[in-house]
Amino acid sequence: MEISQGVPDPPFLRNVGMLLTYHCQASCAHCILRAGPDRHEELKLDDARRWIRDIASYRDRYVCVLSLTGGEPFSNLDLLRSVMELAVDAGLYVSVVTNGFWASTKEAAKQLLQSLPKICFLSVSTDAYHQEYVPFDRVQNAIWAARECGIPYYVTIVTDNREDPDYRRVHSELLKSTPADEIRTGVVFPVGRALEMRDQLRFNVSEEPPREACQAASSPCIFPDGRVLGCIGPLLDLGDDQPLFLGNANETPLHEIFDRSESNVILHALRLWGPYRLFTMLRENGLGPCLPKTFVEGSTCNACYVLMAIPQVRQTLKKLAQSTDFQRQVAYARLHYLEETRMLDVAGEKVT
Ligand code: SF4
């Protein structure tokens, strides 16, 4: 599920995600990661220490923000606090994603936020799926507390269809306390735990992927087992043999993984043009018959996922990534549209 609307995400590699835990009080039906009360895999503090040091020293403090996510990061407060302290001591800003379960009262929520190192951004998730586990007043308390503490925030709602009455109800309830530009909507599609309810999902479909670029692929995410993916999206389900798998921090130093990601042609094509461009190139390369016939309307992540789930697609993308012409196109598009020069070396046009 990807999120649309609101402020643009930070530029490439200025924000790095870190998944603290797969544990969560909730086990939402749409959860990409299949997080829940029975999941206990979490980040080891020694790994966090090493990776945060590497992130903070990368390219002379290039990365600004560490985004902590889960699972539910607040479900292990000691770990959250320790990782936040490591990050702040290393000079990084910290943002956190949460479902707000901890906000039992306004005052308790405010005290908890005040007891943590300063959070630069809070992303609160709520929707019909979350509300089965986390009452809406807790979300409102968390929002209130964020405001009181001067923490910028946005609220994320997901739905399979914007006409869904539950989505509209949550959205209009939120509007009473939260400006529209601080509410983001994501599209649920069959991936992760949502695969189990695929027949009940009522999304609209289209014959082609949406013509939207992907901003989320600007922020790689490190998982507790060291895997680094180009985004915290559904591609985790596809294993390591796919273009958005960037490496494993337990095997390769993070700075090397980040450097390599600068020349990952497929990743940057997604940032520039979204999966639609890959779809058209795959068709031009004769893969039409094996490509999906329908895509979830408005979901770049669904398109990305269903394309990359096809082994022939992954093979063809590997070949495309070796094409000097395509490398040059992506390098110049990054320069032209995003003012990024790092890839011009790869394309043989060094800029000094
Ligand atoms: S890279 Fe693909 S899966 Fe990841 S956020 Fe972008 S569109 Fe979604």
At 4 the pLDDT is: 46
3-class SS at 42?
Answer: strand
Grade residue 348 by pLDDT with cuts at 50, 70 and 90: low
Q: What are residue 186's DSSP bridge partners?
A: 3, 158
CA distances from 59 to 64, 217, 293 (A): 11, 19, 43
Q: Return all residues near 352 (Cβ < 8 A) that are at least 6 apart.
A: none
CB atoms within 10 A of CB 178: 19
Using an 8 Å Cβ cutoff, are 18 and 67 in contact? yes
At 10 the pLDDT is: 75
Tell me the whole-structure pTM to 2 decimals.
0.94
How confident is the model over 275-333, as pLDDT tens digits?
Answer: 999 999 999 999 999 999 999 999 999 999 999 999 999 999 999 999 999 999 999 99
Q: Is the pLDDT of residue 212 over 50?
A: yes
Arithmetic mean of pLDDT, 67-83: 97
How confident is the model over 164-180, as pLDDT tens digits?
Answer: 999 999 999 999 989 99
Grade residue 346 by pLDDT with cuts at 50, 70 and 90: low
- Give the CA count within 13 Å in the CB-facing half-sphere of 352: 0
Q: Is the pLDDT of residue 350 over 50?
A: no
CA distance 352 to 341: 9
Q: Whose CA is closest to 314, among 227, 240, 214, 248?
A: 240
Q: Percent of the chain, pLDDT > 90? A: 92
Q: Which CATH superfamily includes the segment(s) 3-203?
A: Aldolase class I (3.20.20.70)
Closest C-alpha residue for ligand 1 atom 3: 301
How confident is the model over 40-74, as pLDDT tens digits?
Answer: 999 999 999 999 999 999 999 999 999 999 999 99
Arithmetic mean of pLDDT, 135-148: 97
Report residue 296: phi and psi, to 5°. Answer: -70, 125
- What is the best residue among 221, 246, 300 to mutate for testing ligand 1's pocket, by most ligand atoms within 8 Å of CB? 300
At 345 the pLDDT is: 72
Does the Cβ of 67 fall within 6 Å of ligand 1?
no
Does the Cβ of 230 fall within 6 Å of ligand 1?
yes
Grade residue 344 by pLDDT with cuts at 50, 70 and 90: confident
Does the Cβ of 2 fall within 6 Å of ligand 1?
yes
For residue 124, count CB atoms less than 10 angstroms from its CB and return exposed for 0-12, middle for 13-18, buried for 19 or more. buried
Arithmetic mean of pLDDT, 77-105: 98
Report residue 334: phi and psi, to 5°. Answer: -65, -40
Q: What is the CA angle 260-217-90, rounded to 5?
A: 70
DSSP 139: H
**β-strand pairing of 65-70 with 15-21:** parallel
CA distance 170 to 271: 30
Q: Ligand 1 centre from 55 Cα, in Å?
A: 22
Grade residue 152 by pLDDT with cuts at 50, 70 and 90: very high
Arithmetic mean of pLDDT, 103-126: 97
CB atoms within 10 A of CB 326: 17
Does the Cβ of 214 fall within 6 Å of ligand 1?
yes
Using an 8 Å Cβ cutoff, are 37 and 27 in contact? yes
Q: Where are the domains of the chain?
A: 3-203, 265-338
At 233 the pLDDT is: 83
Write 57-61 long-range contacts (CB < 8 A, 24+). Answer: 57/255, 58/13, 58/254, 58/255, 58/258, 59/255, 59/258, 61/91
CA distance 327 to 262: 12
CA distances from 194 to 33, 40, 257 (A): 10, 20, 31
Averaged pLDDT of the chain: 94
